[in-house]
Structure 1
Amino acid sequence: MDADKKQELLARIDQAINNIRPYLEADGGDVKLVDIDDDYVVKVELLGACEACPMSPMTMKAGIEEAIKRVAPEVKAINAINIAPVS
């Protein structure tokens, strides 16, 4: 993907994350957008309480992943770099 496409996609994803951030912060957590690769795989990092929370996989699947795919349907996967993947 070219640089302009990547920047536009990152901006959409960042906005989606900003929309759900207050819910994460209410429980002492947060999420940081790390990158998106040429295969349209998004990497995020869970922060604060989300790092060790047993509900983090559910937060990834039902919250973060859903929000990102709503604004960027071309994304193939969303992976948290600091938790085990959920199938």
Structure 2
Amino acid sequence: MRNWRGEFNMKEKVEMALTKIRPMLQTDGGDVELIDVDENGVVKVRLQGACAGCPMSQMTIKNGIEKLLKEKIPEVTSVESV
């Protein structure tokens, strides 16, 4: 939800940024679900579909999702899989 200045909150910013990476995951039969964003900038996600059981899932999170989110949203400190 936007604040009184029309700015998006952190969770909304993360969700919008994830829309940029979803097509790449979906071409491999996977997806990502945003679970939570805490006050310390830790983003919790759940990989779905083919990505959930993939041996490269941690690499996808750190080198793909986390990298993109940190570039787009400086307040993001890390991304964790739950």
Q: Structure 2 length normalisation: TM-score? A: 0.85
Alignment of 1:8-47 (within 5 A): 8-47=9-48
Q: Per residue, is there more helix in 1 or in 2? A: 1
**1:76: how far off?**
1.4
Give structure 1 regions of 4+ aligned residues with deviation exceeding 4 angstroms.
Answer: none
> Which residue identity does 1:63 align to in structure 2?
G
Percent identical pairs in the alignment equals 46
SS of 1:33 mapped into structure 2: strand
Compute the TM-score of the two structures, normalised by the length of structure 1. 0.81
CA-based RMSD: 1.5
Question: Structure 2 counterpart of 1:54, which letter?
Answer: P
Give the letter for the 2:72 counterpart. Answer: V
Ranges in structure 2 where 5+ consecutive residues have no aligned partner: none
Number of equivalent positions: 77
Partner of 1:84: none
Q: How does 1:1-87 map to 2 (within 5 A)?
A: 4=3, 8-81=9-82
**Structure 1 alignment gaps of length 5 or more:** 82-87
For residues 9 and 71 of structure 2, the distance between their equivalents in structure 1, rounded to whole angstroms, comes to: 15
Which whole-Å deviations, capped at 9, do the CAs of 1:4-61 have from their partners, x for residues lacking one? 5xx6111111111110100000000000111111222110010000110011111111
